[in-house]
Amino acid sequence: MTTDPHEVAPVLEADAAARHNQDAGPILRLQGVGKRFPGVVALRNVSFDIQRGEGHVLLGENGAGKSTLINLLGGLFPPDEGSIWFNGAPYSPASPLEAFSKGIRVVHQELNLLSNLTVAENLLFEHLPSRRGLVNYREMNRRAAELLAEVGLDISPSTVVSRLGVAQMQLIEIAKALAHESKLLVLDEPTATLTSKEVDRLFEILHRLKERKVTTLYISHRLQEIYEVGDRVTVLRDGQHVTTEPLKGLAIPDIVRLMVGRTVTDQGVFREDIKPTGEALAVEGLRLTETSPPIDFSVRNGEIVGIAGLVGSGRTEAVRAIFGADPKASGTIRVNGRPVAIASPKEAVAAGICLMTEDRKQQGLLLEMSCAENITITDLKRLSRKGLLDRAMENAASERLVAGLRVKTPTIFQKVGTFSGGNQQKVVIAKWLYRGSSVLICDEPTRGIDVGAKVEIYELMGQLAAEGKGILVVSSDLPELMSICHRILVFSNGRLAGEVPRAEFDQNRILSLAYEEYGRVRGN
Amino acid sequence: MSEGTESAGERKTATVWDNFLRISMREAGVAIALVIIVLFFSATAPYFATPENFLKIFVQIAINTVLAAGMTFVILTGGIDLSVGSVLALCTVVGATIMVREDLSPWMSIPLALLACMATGAACGAINGWVCEKWKLPSFIVTLGMLNVASGLARVVSDNSTITGLPQPFVDFGNQIYFGVLPSIFLIAIIVILIGWFILRFTVFGRFVFAIGTNEEAVRLSGHNPRIFKIAVFTISGLTAGIAAMVFLLRLNVGSPIAGIGYELNAIAAVIIGGTSLSGGKGSIIGTLVGACILQVLATGLQLLGAEDNVKPIVIGTVIVLAVVLDTYRNRYLRKLEAR
Amino acid sequence: MTSFSSDGRSLSGVSRRRLLLAGAAGSLVLVSGVTPVFAEAKKPKVGLVMKSLANEFFKQMQAGAEKYAAENADKFDFKAVGMKDERDFAAQVDAVENFVTQKYDIIVVAPADSKAMVTPLAKAVKAGVAVINIDVELDQEAKKKAGIDLAFFGPDNREGALLAGTALAKDLGEGGKVVILEGNPEADNAQQRKKGFDDAVAAGKLQLLDSKTAHWETEEANTLMTNFLTKYNDIQGVMAANDSMALGVVKALDSAGLSGKIKVVGFDNIPAVQPLIKDGKMLATVEQYGAQMAAMGIEYGLRQMAGETFTGWVKTDIKLITAADL
C-alpha cells in the first residue's frame, strides 16, 4: 500500500477500467447458500446474483436472514452449505480482514469504531501513514480531513470518537469505507440514525460511488429511500429467497407484501377511541445543566406523546434525565399528580416510570442471559419469597408475555443475544410490561426493526395507551410519530422548541421547529 | 403406525442422550480435565492412588477452595479481589490471638474467634466494595491497596510473630476425619461451596450477581442499584477469607502475618480454570471447586512423580492455560449441541 | 568443619540393617526423574524440605545435599523439595505431608516457620519418620506441646552475627556509627541475627543510628541504604543480616562514591560477595557451611534410624570470613 494519496486515484481508476473491460458477469453470485444457528435456520438455499456496478437493495423483515447474509460476505463465519462467487472466483474469506482485502467492505449496523482513538486514527486504522514505524500524524490528519469533507462532516480529524453522536459515528463508518475503495460496499441500515440532511448527503456519496462503478448492497427498513439508491431488489423471508427483480415498477405496498407475505398497512394504528384523561407524567422546569433552558411538558393517561428533533437536540438527554439515568440540574417531576424525587432509575421505576433505551444491546438487555431472565429482571421481588426465586412463577410469567407479544423464540430459555432486533425490542417491552409501569418512555422503539414488527409495536402502544398508560415516544422517524401520536413535542438544540397537536400535524412545520434553534444560533 | 412410534422413541432417546451430554458438559465442564489428570497421576505417580493421598489432597485444597468460592462471586460481577491472601493472614492472627487467651475457656474463645475471623474478613471486604463504588475505582487497585493494608495490620496485631498454642479441642477438630473419608476442614470447604452454589442458583441475589456481570448498565436502567450488590460480593469475598482463615488455623494450628502470601492468585486461577469468565456474567461455583482440585492434584501429583521443583511451576502454568483453552472448545461444542 | 568421611564409613552398617527392615515391609517403589523405576535394592528414602531456592544460601545447601546423595547413591535414595516463596510455609507443610504419603524414612527440614512447622512434623514423627531439623530451630514450647522432642542441627545465628558485628566494631573502634539491615521481621534467624548484632553494638560500644528491615532482598536493601545515606551523613558501618542485602548496600555505597569508606558486614558467605571482600568493599561475612548442613542432616537421620538418639542443639560450624580467608 502506497502512502501517497495522489498515487491511489490513478491506480484505482485503472483498476476500474480493467474491471469494466472484464466480461459483464455478476460481481457476486450466491448458490444454494444455507446457514444454521442454535435453534434457528438463518438461511436456507439462497441463490441470487448482484451485477457489476448496480445498486442492489436487500430487504426482509427482522430475522429474515439479512444480517446473516451480510456476515457471510463480511467473513465473520462461513456458510454451512452452498457457495459464494465473488468477481468470478470462489469466495470464502476466513476473516473480516480477508473479506476486506478481497474488496468487500461491510459497514455494520453496530458501529465498530475504536471509541478512545481519534477520528483520523479510526478512518485510516488499517493503513496508518507511517515512516519507519512512526505514525505520520500530519499526513494522517490531512487525509482524514479529505474523507470527512467527502461525507460532509464538519469536525476536526483529531476529535476523539467517543465524544461524537451516533449519526456522526455512522458517517465516519461510511467515510472509512471510502478510505479503502472497495469493489462491493455493503451498507447495513446506514440511515437508521441519520437526519434527513445527512441522508441526502449519504445518497450523494452513493451516487458518486456508482459513477465509479462501485457496486453497493444496501439494507434498509426505510422503504421510501431505497428508490434513491437501488436498481434491483432482493427480498428474503424466513431465511429463504423470495425474489430478485428490478425496483422500477415495484410500489412500496408490493414490497411490503413480498417481505411479510401478507398485506400490512400502518394506517389505522392510531386509536381514535382513546380519550386521554388526567395527568400521567408532568415535567416542570427540567434543566439538564445549570445554564440550559427549562423544559416543561406533561403526558396524560392514555396519551401517546412524540418527541421529535435532530439527533443531539437533547431529546434523548431529556428522557434519560427524567428517568434518572443521567443527573439533572433541577426540575420537578410528577407521576399521577404526585411529585417524585428521582435521583436514579431505581426511584423512577418505583414511581412507575420506565425507559426503553435507544441502545437495546448496550443498555437494555442482558444479551448473555435468557429471555425469561431478561423479562423478570425489572421485578424479582414479585417472584421470590425470602430471597428465593420461584422459577415456576418466573417461567409462567415469561411464557405469558412472550406469547402475548408474539416473541419468536423456541423457548424462553434462549439467550436474547441470538434474537433479531424486533424480537429483542419485544423483550424490552415485555420486561417493562412485567414491571407494570404506568408511564412508558420509548427512545427509538422501532429502530432497526422490520415493517411487520413495527406495526405490531405500534398496535401494542395503542393497546397500552387504551389501558390508561402515558406513553412518551422519541423517534427520528417523523412519519412514525405522526401516525401514532396525539401530540408531538419538538426539540431543537437543547430547547423544547414547540408542541404540535395531532390536528395540526404537518411535516414541514415540525421540521422547521426542529431546525429553529440552529438557524438562530447561526444567525447570531 | 408402529414405525412412527419407534422413530419417536428413538428421537426421545437421542434427546435424553443430548440432554445428558449437554448437562454434563455444562455442569461438569473442566471436571473432565480433572478426571484425566487424576487418571494420569494414578497410572504414573507412586502412592498417588492411595486413600491416604486422596485424604491429604482433600485437606490441602480446603483453604484455596473457600477463598475461591468468595472470589467466584466477585469475578462473576466482573471485579477482582487481590486482597484475600493478606485478609486471610489478618484473620488468622485475629482468630489465634483470641483463642490463645488464657482467661477464656475454649468453649468461649473458639466461637468468639470464629465470629471475629468472619467479622474481620467481612469488614475488609465491605471496605473494598464501598471504596470501589463510592469513588468508582477499579477493584484491581482498591483490593491491591487492601492487600498491603491488611498485611500491615496483621503484622501489627501479631507483633511480627507466629501465634501458637491454640486450644486442644480446636486442634482436635482440625484433625478429625469423619467416616474415614471426610476430613473436617474439607467438610467446611464443601459446605461453603454448597452454600455459594445455592445462593447463585436459587436466590434473587444470585440472579443479580450474574446480571450485573453481564451488563451492569442494563441492571441499573432496570431500576436497581448495582452498587449495593457489588459491595455485597466483596463482603462475601472478605467473609470467605475469614472462613478460610479458620480453615488455615485448623490445618496449621498457627496464626501468622505471613500466611496467605500469593493465595489470591491461586484462588483466581481456581475460579478461571473452573470456567468463570474474567469479564463476568458467566461461570459456576462448582467449576471453581473443580478448578481448585485441579491445581492441588497437579501440585501433589507432580511432587509424587518426582518432578523437579523448577519444572512444577512450568507444568502448572501450562495446565492453567490449557484448561481454559479446553473450556473454549467445550463451549463451542456445547453451542453445537444446543443448536440441535 | 564437620568431616563426613569417617562417619560415612559407619553408615554402610546402618544401611544393611535398614535393608532387612525394608525387605520385610515389602517392595518399595522408587522414583527417579518423572518415570517410576522399580529398584532391586531397598534403600531408605530421604526427603529434604528446603526454603526458597531463589536464595543463594539454600541453593548451596541443596547442591551440597545432592552431591552427598550422589556420592552415597548406594546407601539411600534422595529427593529435595523447595518453595517458590520462602514465607509460604503452607507449601512446606504440603511437602512434608507428601513425603509421609510416599513413605519416606527420613525427612530433613529447614523450617520456614519455627512454630507452624511443628504440627505437621509431629504427625510425620508419629507416622514413624525420622525427622531432622536443620537451619532454623523449631520452637521449644510448640515442640513440647506437640509431644515431640527433636534435636536441632544448625548454626548459632546470634553467635554468627556477633562475630560479624564484633569484626566491624573492632575496625571502627568505640563510638563508631552503624546501621543495621534486618531480615524478615517474623523469621527466627532474622531475629537471632538482629540480637547478635545488638550484642556486638553493646559490646563494642558502637552507636546505633537506625535498624530497619529490607526483607532479605537486594533491591529493597539498596533503596533502604540510599535512604539511610540521605538521612545520616555520618554512617561508618553497616551490618546486613544476609549477603543478598549486603550486595544492595555495597551497590548503594558505590553509587554514592562511599564504597570502602563505609564498612559493611554480611552473613552467609555467598559466592557473589567474595570478590567484594577481596576488593575491600566489604569487611566480612559469616560462613555457616550451608552446603554441609543438609548433608549432615541426612547423615544424622541415618544414624538416628540406626538407633542413635540426639537431643538439644547440635551446633554446626560457623566461621568469620575476611579478606585474609579468601
Q: In chain A, what are the domain boundaries?
A: 55-75+94-260, 277-352+439-449+469-524, 359-436
Partner-chain residue, chosen from B56, B160, B248, that has the shortest CB–CB distance to C185? B160
Alpha-carbon torsion, ordered C235, C238, C244, C250, to 10 deg: 40
Nearest CA in chain B to C117: B252
Q: Please say whether the structural domain C5-154+289-316 has been given the CATH code 3.40.50.2300.
A: yes
B338 touches chain A (CB under 8 A): yes
- What is the distance between the terminal CA atoms of chain A, rounded to a whole angstrom? 47
Enumerate the residues of chain A whose CB falls inside 8 A of the CB of residue B218.
362-366, 377
Residue pair A307/A480 in contact by the 8 Å Cβ criterion: no
Q: Please indicate, yes or no, if residue B77 is contained in any of the structural domains.
A: yes
For chain B, the domain total comes to 1
B332 touches chain A (CB under 8 A): no
Chains contacting B (3+ CB pairs below 8 angstroms): A, C
Q: Return all residues near A134 (Cβ < 8 A) that are at least 6 apart.
A: none
Tell me the pLDDT tens digit for each residue of A203-225.
Answer: 888 888 888 788 999 988 777 78
Cβ–Cβ below 8 Å for B305 and C31: yes
**CA B20 and chain centroid, separation:** 26
Nearest CA in chain B to C188: B161
Lowest mean pLDDT among A36-45, A290-299, A456-465, A474-483: A36-45
Average pLDDT over residues C217-238: 93
According to the model, what pLDDT value does residue A161 have? 86
Tell me the pLDDT tens digit for each residue of C71-112.
Answer: 999 999 999 988 877 778 888 999 999 999 889 999 999 998
Report d(CA C133, CA B270) in Å as an integer: 34
Torsion sign across C-alpha atoms B224, B226, B231, B236: positive
Nearest CA in chain A to B212: A366
Report d(CA C296, CA A200) in Å as an integer: 91
Residue A347 CB neighbour total at 10 angstroms: 17
Tell me the pLDDT tens digit for each residue of B207-253.
Answer: 999 999 999 999 999 999 999 999 999 999 999 999 999 999 998 88
Considering the four listed CATH numbers 3.30.420.60, 3.40.50.2300, 3.40.50.300, 1.10.10.10, the one that applies to the domain covering A55-75+94-260 is 3.40.50.300
| Percentage of the residues of chain B whose pLDDT score is greater than 70 | 90
According to the model, what pLDDT value does residue B3 have? 37
Cβ–Cβ below 8 Å for A369 and B208: no
Partner-chain residue, chosen from B225, B281, B338, that has the shortest CB–CB distance to A344? B225
Residue pair A125/A117 in contact by the 8 Å Cβ criterion: yes
Lowest mean pLDDT among A126-135, A158-167, A201-210, B6-15: B6-15
3-state class of A64 per DSSP?
Answer: coil
Expressed as residue numbers, the domain containing B88 is 31-339
Nearest Cα to Cα of residue B68 among B316, B211, B247: B247
Tell me the pLDDT tens digit for each residue of A408-440.
Answer: 888 999 889 888 878 899 999 999 999 999 999
B318 touches chain C (CB under 8 A): no
Tell me the pLDDT tens digit for each residue of A440-453.
Answer: 999 999 877 777 78
Lowest mean pLDDT among A89-93, B159-163, B261-265, C124-128: B159-163
The residue of B76, B217, B222, B224 whose CB has the most chain A CBs within 10 angstroms, and thus the best one to mutate to test that interface, is: B222
Residues of C engaging B, defined by a Cβ cutoff of 8 Å: 29, 31-36, 53, 79-82, 84-85, 87-90, 93-95, 97-98, 101-103, 113-116, 118-120, 139, 141-142, 145, 184-186
Fold of C157-287: Rossmann fold (3.40.50)
Min CA distance, A256 vs chain B (Å)? 31
Average predicted confidence (pLDDT) for chain B: 89
Domain C5-154+289-316 identical in fold to domain C157-287: yes
B309 touches chain C (CB under 8 A): yes
Q: Please indicate, yes or no, if residue B320 is contained in any of the structural domains.
A: yes
Cβ–Cβ below 8 Å for A388 and B339: no
Lowest mean pLDDT among A61-70, A116-125, B232-241, B326-335: B326-335
Cβ–Cβ below 8 Å for A369 and B210: yes
- For A27, A74, A189, A223, C78, the CA distances from A184, given in Å and listed in that order, are 8, 11, 16, 22, 71
Residue pair A60/A239 in contact by the 8 Å Cβ criterion: no
According to the model, what pLDDT value does residue C36 have? 41
| Percentage of the residues of chain C whose pLDDT score is greater than 70 | 87
Cβ–Cβ below 8 Å for B204 and A431: no
| Percentage of the residues of chain A whose pLDDT score is greater than 70 | 91
Enumerate the residues of chain C whose CB falls inside 8 A of the CB of residue B300.
94, 98
According to the model, what pLDDT value does residue A134 have? 83
B97 touches chain C (CB under 8 A): no
C32: pLDDT confidence band, cut at 50, 70 and 90? very low
According to the model, what pLDDT value does residue A283 have? 96
3-state class of B21 per DSSP?
Answer: helix
Residue pair A27/A184 in contact by the 8 Å Cβ criterion: yes
- For A61, A373, A375, A434, the CA distances from A428, given in Å and listed in that order, are 19, 12, 7, 10
The residue of C28, C29, C31, C81 whose CB has the most chain B CBs within 10 angstroms, and thus the best one to mutate to test that interface, is: C31
Residue whose C-alpha cell reads 543438609 in the numeric block: C294
**CA B159 and chain centroid, separation:** 29
The residue of C38, C53, C102, C189 whose CB has the most chain B CBs within 10 angstroms, and thus the best one to mutate to test that interface, is: C102
Assigned C-alpha cell, B206: 444470585
Spell out the CATH class of A277-352+439-449+469-524: alpha beta
Average pLDDT over residues A320-342: 94
Report d(CA C42, CA C20) in Å as an integer: 8
- Give the H or E element holding residue B61: helix B51-76
B15: pLDDT confidence band, cut at 50, 70 and 90? low
Residue whose C-alpha cell reads 564437620 in the numeric block: C2
Cβ–Cβ below 8 Å for B204 and A365: no
Cβ–Cβ below 8 Å for B53 and C101: yes
Average pLDDT over residues B65-74: 98
Nearest CA in chain B to C50: B309
Partner-chain residue, chosen from A39, A357, A387, that has the shortest CB–CB distance to B221? A357
B221 touches chain A (CB under 8 A): yes
Q: Please indicate, yes or no, if residue B88 is contained in any of the structural domains.
A: yes
Enumerate the residues of chain A whose CB falls inside 8 A of the CB of residue B339.
36-39
Assigned C-alpha cell, B81: 479481589
The tally of CA atoms less than 13 A away on the side-chain side of residue A420 is: 26
According to the model, what pLDDT value does residue A307 have? 95
CB pairs under 8 A between A and B: 83
Amino acid at position A160, single letter: V
Min CA distance, B152 vs chain C (Å)? 12
Q: Please indicate, yes or no, if residue B13 is contained in any of the structural domains.
A: no
Q: Please indicate, yes or no, if residue B23 is contained in any of the structural domains.
A: no
In angstroms, how far apart are the furthest CA atoms of chain C?
Answer: 71
Average predicted confidence (pLDDT) for chain C: 84
Enumerate the domain spans of chain C: 5-154+289-316, 157-287
Cβ–Cβ below 8 Å for A377 and B207: yes
Residue A188 CB neighbour total at 10 angstroms: 22
Min CA distance, A190 vs chain B (Å)? 25
Residues of A engaging B, defined by a Cβ cutoff of 8 Å: 36-39, 323, 325, 344-346, 348-350, 354-355, 357, 362-369, 373, 377-378, 380-381, 384, 387-389, 431, 435
Cβ–Cβ below 8 Å for B281 and A387: no
Partner-chain residue, chosen from B60, B253, B258, that has the shortest CB–CB distance to C94? B60
Tell me the pLDDT tens digit for each residue of B200-209.
Answer: 999 999 999 9
- Give the H or E element holding residue C14: helix C5-25
**CA B76 and chain centroid, separation:** 13
Cβ–Cβ below 8 Å for C115 and B164: yes
DSSP annotation of C219 reads H
Cβ–Cβ below 8 Å for B224 and A323: no
Total length of chain A? 524
ipTM of the complex, rounded to two decimals: 0.86
A21: pLDDT confidence band, cut at 50, 70 and 90? very low
Residue whose C-alpha cell reads 441492571 in the numeric block: B219
Question: What is the secondary structure of A203-241 as a DSSP string?
Answer: HHHHHHHHHTT-EEEEE-S-HHHHHHH-SEEEEEETTEE
According to the model, what pLDDT value does residue A110 have? 67
**A near C: at least 3 beta-carbon pairs less than 8 Å apart:** no
Chains contacting C (3+ CB pairs below 8 angstroms): B
Pairing mode, strands A28-37 and A277-287: unpaired
Enumerate the residues of chain A whose CB falls inside 8 A of the CB of residue B335.
38
Question: What is the secondary structure of C29-77 as a DSSP string?
Answer: -EEETTEEE--SS---EEEEEEEETTSHHHHHHHHHHHHHHHHTTTT-E
Lowest mean pLDDT among A462-471, A473-482, B134-143: A473-482
Assigned C-alpha cell, A27: 460481481
Nearest Cα to Cα of residue A48 among A10, A101, A85: A85
Domain A55-75+94-260 identical in fold to domain A277-352+439-449+469-524: yes
CB pairs under 8 A between B and C: 106
Query: Buried b / exposed e across B183-202, counting CB within 10 Å, b at 16+?
Result: bbbbebbbebbeebbebbeb
Q: Return all residues near C308 (Cβ < 8 A) that are at least 6 apart.
A: none
